[in-house]
């Protein structure tokens, strides 16, 4: 769901209990909500959050029920939902609590800034199932942390904790448990990256951040 607030912050909140597994419907909804936020002229920033668990990846039960042909047909839509987040013209902050795994991490990678709680864990464990990240995560991860570190994360599939994620450059900031990152102008003071730039950017201008 998308929550609009008077302070110009739109909160895109994942709600698919218990662990926010991103099935096809959830992926499509995230993409639609990102486009909705982008179309609002009074939105100055978007925060993507999942509550206690940011996102535990794709719905493996749904995937297991799909044929190879169905999975191939779904591939463009899988890429499209993170592309929609990456295309939002105002800064997008991923507020990661709990786990950001698989598709959940790919969603966070599509955001401009990743803020995580001290106990968060991030990774791409789907390689253990013989599946590569399909929502743009391989490219975005390499651009963010460099090819060598990206290969380590992709090939091992092992999740990393908050401190290691910060050291690698996978996240931008660690906050104490319970910090309300959605309160960008109040409880949580965003990085300098956002302080001066909570305004709409020209379409497609990701370099402005």
pLDDT tens digits, one per residue of 90-121: 889 999 999 999 999 999 999 999 999 999 99
Instruction: Say how many residues make up the chain.
Output: 209
**What pLDDT score was predicted for residue 200?**
55
**What pLDDT score was predicted for residue 192?**
45
DSSP 147: H
The total of other beta-carbon atoms located within 10 Å of residue 147's CB is 10
Domains in the chain, CATH or no CATH each: 2-186 (3.90.226.10)
62 is catalytic: no
CB 114 within 8 A of CB 96: yes
CA–CA distance, 80 with 28 (Å, rounded to integer)? 8
SS3 content of the chain, % helix, strand, coil (to 5): 40, 20, 40
Q: Which of 62, 106, 164, 173 is catalytic?
A: 106
pTM above 0.75, yes or no: yes
pLDDT in tens, 124-171: 988 877 777 778 888 899 999 999 999 999 899 899 999 999 999 999
pLDDT in tens, 21-78: 888 889 999 999 999 999 998 888 899 999 888 998 777 777 777 777 877 787 788 8
Q: Which of 62, 69, 97, 126 is catalytic?
A: 126
CB 97 within 8 A of CB 120: yes
106 is catalytic: yes
Reduced to 3 states (helix: H, G, I; strand: E, B; else coil), residue 123 is strand
């Amino acid at each position: 769901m998308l929550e609009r607030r008077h302070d110009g912050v739109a909160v895109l909140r994942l709600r698919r209990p218990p662990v926010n597994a991103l099935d096809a419907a959830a992926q499509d909804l995230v993409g639609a909500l990102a486009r909705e936020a982008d179309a609002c002229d009074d939105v100055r920033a978007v925060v993507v959050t999942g509550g206690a668990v940011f996102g535990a990846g794709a719905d493996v039960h749904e995937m297991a029920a799909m044929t190879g042909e169905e999975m191939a047909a779904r591939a463009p839509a899988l890429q499209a939902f993170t592309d929609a987040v990456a295309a939002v013209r105002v800064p997008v902050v991923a507020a990661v609590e709990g786990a950001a795994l698989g598709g959940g991490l790919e969603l966070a990678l599509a955001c401009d800034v990743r803020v995580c709680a001290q106990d968060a864990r991030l990774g791409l464990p789907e390689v253990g199932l013989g599946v590569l990240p399909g929502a743009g995560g391989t490219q975005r991860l390499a651009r963010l942390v460099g090819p060598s570190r990206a290969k380590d994360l992709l090939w091992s599939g092992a999740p990393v904790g908050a401190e290691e994620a910060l050291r690698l450059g996978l996240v931008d900031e660690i906050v104490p448990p319970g910090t309300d990152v959605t309160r960008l102008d109040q409880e949580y003071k965003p990085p300098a990256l956002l302080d001066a730039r909570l305004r709409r950017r020209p379409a497609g201008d990701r370099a402005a951040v």
